[in-house]
Structure formats: C-alpha cells, structure tokens
Amino acid sequence: MSKILVLGRTMDMGGTEVAMAALLQKLVEKKEDVTLLLVEKRGVLLERIPKEVEVRQMIWDKKPHPALERIVGKRETPAERSFYARGMGVFLMRVVYGKKRYGKLYERILECVEPETKQYDLVFDFFGFGAFTTAFGARKTNARKKAVWFHGENLWWLFRTRDFIPEYDKIYCVSEPVRKQVIARFPELADRTEVLLNFIDIKQVQRRSEEPLSDPQYTGELKFLTVGRASEEKGYDIAVQITAELKKRGLCFKWFIIGDGRDLNKLRTMAKEYQVEQEIIFLGMRENPAPYVKSCDLYLQPSRHEGYPITIVEARSLQKVIIASDIPSMREQIRDGENGYLCPLDVMQFADKIQKVLADQEGRDAVRKKLREEPIDFSAGYAQIEAFAKK
C-alpha cells in the first residue's frame, strides 16, 4: 500500500474533476492510502469521492491579500469581487510579475500557505493547467516521487508553472497530441513524459444514464447536446453561429449546452444578438449530464482545443451519434464516418455536416452499431502508475 496525496482546485463539475474522481476510485480499488487536498473543499462532485479518501482543504498560514486568493482560484467573497481586489490581481499578474516572473508570484503566495507536513510515497498534481496546485506540489509537499498531469494541448498557461514542472519526476499527458506539445516545450524532460489516459468508469456512466430525467427546459423533438465548461476552447461562440445558420435554413431543433464557466453570460448575450436564444439553450451546470446525453439525438463538440475529451468517451459509451471538430485529440477517438463524424470548425461546414448526418438514417444506424461493438476499457493504464511507484 502506498500513501498518495492528490492535489486539485475544487470538485466543481468539469471534465478534469470527473477524471480526478475516477482516478481516486481506481486508487481506492487498488487499496492505496489516499488523501485529496483541494485549494477549496467545495463542488457538486464531492459526492463522487470514495468514502475511503480523506478530503482536506489547503490552510492559509496567514491571511493573504484578497487578490492573491482570487489568483489561486478560491471562491470569490465580496471583498475579492471588489474593484480594488480585481484591479490589484490584474496589476500583480501582468505588471509587477508578468509572464517572465509569474513563478515568483506563486512563490509569494506559497509563503501564505501551510506546507503538507506528512511524508507520502507519491504526490499527484492532477489539476495542472498552470494552477497554483503545481507550485504547491513542487515546493510544499514531501514525497518519494511526484507526478503532474497535462490535460490539454493548448499550453498558453505554461508560463505560470514553467519554473515548477522540472521538480516533478513524471509528466502524465492525457493524449498523444498533448505529449507532443509538452515535449516541444520541455525537450529536456522527454524521458519523464508519457501518455496516461484518464480513468473513466464506463459502467458508472451507463448506470447514471438510467437515472430519471425531469427537466422542463430539456424538450423538443430534435435535441442536440454539448457538455463542457463555457470557455473559449470549447468553441461555443461558433456553436451560436452554427445555430443561427441552421435556423436560417429552416431546421427545427434545440441545441442544449450543459456547463458553467466564465463565458456563460457572454454566450447568452451572444445568442440574443443572433436571435437564437430559443434554439441554443445554456442550461448551466447539471450534476449528472448522463441522462441528457442518453436522450439527445446528436452529440456535438465544436471544440478548438482538447486534451482527451471525456465527454466524447461518455457519449460513445452511450452509443450516441457524435459530430466533433476535426482536431488531433478528437481523431484519437473518432474515425470519421465509422464510429462518429469529424468536421472542420467552420460555421458553414459544421452546419452542412449536421444536415447531412440527419438526412442519412442508414449512416447513423451504422455508427451506433459500431459503437456497440467497440470496447472502451481504461483499466490497463493503472500499470503505468504502479511501474512509476516501484522505480
């Protein structure tokens, strides 16, 4: 049995958090002694954490400036939402420290947080994404070995944690496109970098899809669905434009989007500007999206960037017809015209693809048949963690 510390920001609904809950379940199944340390202990996915896992929250050794709390991702209090705190946060990130010295900003924040004094066999910074967890895992934890996860191929955030990544013994990338991007940025760390697919409990997804669905907003004869955070990389602004184009062509449908995020209000405003607020409906967060996925007619994913999109795995496991943007991470799962459809992220071409797929009942039936026959199994990946732990 290994003592393992897993680091995360929160357990809010999101693909990374869903994957982290699945990893925790796998670690418990393997009889590991697991502690989950969060920047803030909150989120609807807390209930998915196995009872065997000790869940704690980072402790501030001294009260930091509200701007610093905002930077590490704590829930905003009225003080942190103030004009002063927001302005000070921007001033610190862009003017005082900037991209070249961002690691120094995290070092300043580390001075305000209590270290993790227990000795562990393994520390996993699962969240990654340039978050404060990476700095904390590197400098404030004690372990025989440490690993950090990279979840996306768009590494715009790398300047935040570049100083801390070399302190990790292993860099786990959730897909091959992500691994290639990491090695391009850290060629000297290539021997520490490998692909480790997220652990996804397919049986649990299928069980949860059977739960009753009672949502008065989720209606319509032809329902499209997308699940994911409302942020730039998900391409929801393109989705609004595709919706407007399909409406102009006379198609009667509703496109539902499940997910919270910083761009949600902006997207709702955009839908009104394009006069499609009745066709594209932003439902916000739903604790269990699986019943929605099960009952949709098409699952659409117009992402600009992804790592290894869990929502695509879940839609595949429920044998849904998928149309996704033709990007490297999607090609790892979808073979165009065989087990789903890929399309360039272009408004007209995506609209054409949707209409073409809807008109081809035989093609959709063949895709569903292929999905029923395809095995989806992530259990073998745990051997990589075991090998890392033994070295």
Judge whether 3-59+114-200+380-390 and 213-373 match in fold. yes
Best CA proximity match to 48, nearest among 29, 28, 27, 21: 21
135 has a pLDDT exceeding 80:
yes
Best CA proximity match to 385, nearest among 20, 139, 124: 124
State residue 60's pLDDT score. Answer: 86
State residue 64's pLDDT score. Answer: 67
372 vs 91, residue with greater confidence: 372
Task: List the single range of 47-51, 98-102, 162-166 with lowest mean pLDDT.
Answer: 98-102
- Percent residues over pLDDT 90 in the chain: 75
- Beta partners for residue 374, in sequence order: none
In 3-state terms the chain splits into helix, strand, coil percentages (rounded to 5) of 45, 20, 35
Cα 31 to Cα 37, 147, 390: the distances in Å are: 19, 19, 16
Q: Is 22 exposed, middle or buried (0-12, 13-18, 19+ CB in 10 A)?
A: buried
3-state secondary structure of 204: helix
Please state the pTM of the whole predicted model.
Answer: 0.85
CATH of region 213-373: 3.40.50.2000
67 has a pLDDT exceeding 60:
yes
Predicted confidence band at 86 (pLDDT cuts at 50, 70, 90)? low
State residue 342's pLDDT score. Answer: 98
State residue 199's pLDDT score. Answer: 87
State residue 50's pLDDT score. Answer: 95
3-state secondary structure of 1: coil
State residue 270's pLDDT score. Answer: 97
Q: CATH 3.40.50.2000: does it fit domain 3-59+114-200+380-390?
A: yes
Predicted confidence band at 79 (pLDDT cuts at 50, 70, 90)? very low
Predicted confidence band at 83 (pLDDT cuts at 50, 70, 90)? low
State residue 87's pLDDT score. Answer: 67
200 vs 90, residue with greater confidence: 200
74 has a pLDDT exceeding 80:
no
Best CA proximity match to 250, nearest among 355, 321, 323, 169: 355
Q: Which residues have C-beta within 8 Å of that of residue 253, sequence separation ≥ 6?
A: 220, 222, 223, 224, 246, 279
262 has a pLDDT exceeding 60:
yes
Q: Is 372 exposed, middle or buried (0-12, 13-18, 19+ CB in 10 A)?
A: exposed
Q: Tell me the per-residue pLDDT of 13-24, one tens digit each, with 9 for 90 and over.
A: 888 999 999 999
Q: Tell me the per-residue pLDDT of 300-350, one tens digit each, with 9 for 90 and over.
A: 999 999 989 999 999 999 999 999 999 999 999 999 999 999 999 999 999
Which ranges of 91-174 would DSSP assign to H, the alpha helix?
Answer: 102-110, 132-139
**Whether the Cβ atoms of residue 283 and residue 250 lie closer than 8 Å to each other:** no
208 has a pLDDT exceeding 70:
yes
Domain ranges within the chain, ordered by starting residue: 3-59+114-200+380-390, 213-373
